[in-house]
Amino acid sequence: MMKPNAILACIGLALGAACVTTTTYAHGDPEPTDFKLQELLHDARKATRPFTDLQSALAAGYTKFPDLNGDCVDQPGQGGMGIHYVNPALVGDAELDPMRPEFLVYRQDRHGRHELVALEYVVFAPYWDAAHPQPPVLFGHPMHLVRTPNRYGTAMPFYELHVWLWEHNPNGLFNDWNPRFSCR
């Protein structure tokens, strides 16, 4: 029996669908004992491990994607997101695959090296909405709608979800802003 706050999430993949049932807790964090979600997060970490090296990400087609204020995204009083790298081939379709994030998010350490901190999943709203009756849900968490105009200068609204898979975020695994760092 599902708890009242349980979310059933079907993740559309190119060759079918993977469903995960999760229970959400404070700050959108999943229940630590949710084996299926933890397994999916483990698989996403394994799939993106090569991108802990920025050169591997660049070789795989990811390119820097600054917002309108510069390379690194942060917001005073909220925290930082980091430096976004987009894979244009992935962001241009209407699919969401937890093993192939549209964006990789890095921060620059004090020595100038890029460290992978988060994954970001993005799908343009008109593409998704034309093919699906409901907004997207990934990892058992609803994706956020970013309307236009926005800080990224996109022509279309899009759904997005940050997953702080490589860096702890005290605000939660799926929260956009991490108060532990800024770009300054």
| Residue 45 burial by Cβ neighbours in a 10 Å radius (0-12, 13-18, 19+) | middle
Render pLDDT for 85-142 as a digit per residue (tens, 0 to 9). Answer: 999 999 988 899 999 999 999 998 889 899 999 999 999 999 999 999 999 999 999 9
Q: For the whole model, what pTM was predicted?
A: 0.79
Residue 96 near residue 121, CB atoms below 8 Å: yes
**Model confidence at 9: pLDDT above 90:** no
User: How remote is the C-alpha of 103 from its chain's centroid?
Assistant: 7
**What confidence category does residue 25 fall into, taking pLDDT thresholds of 50, 70 and 90?**
very low
Distances in whole angstroms, Cα of residue 86 to Cα of each of 2, 17, 49, 125, 146:
36, 24, 16, 17, 16
Q: Please report the pLDDT score of residue 15 as a whole number.
A: 28
Q: Which residue has the higher pLDDT, 157 or 33?
A: 157
Cα separation of 119 and 167, whole Å?
10
Whether pLDDT at 7 is above 60 = no
pLDDT tens for 47-56 read 999 999 999 9
> What is the C-alpha separation between 176 and 173, in angstroms, rounded?
9
Q: How confident is the model at residue 59 (pLDDT cuts 50, 70, 90)?
A: very high
3-state secondary structure of 129: helix
Neighbour-count burial for 135-160, b at 16+ CB within 10 Å, e otherwise: ebbbbbbbbeebeeeeebeeeeebbb
Q: Structural domain boundaries of the chain?
A: 6-163
Q: In this prediction, what percent of the chain has a pLDDT beyond 70?
A: 80
C-beta of residue 126 within 8 angstroms of C-beta of residue 111: no
Does the pLDDT value for residue 151 go beyond 60? Answer: yes
Rounded average pLDDT over 2-27: 34
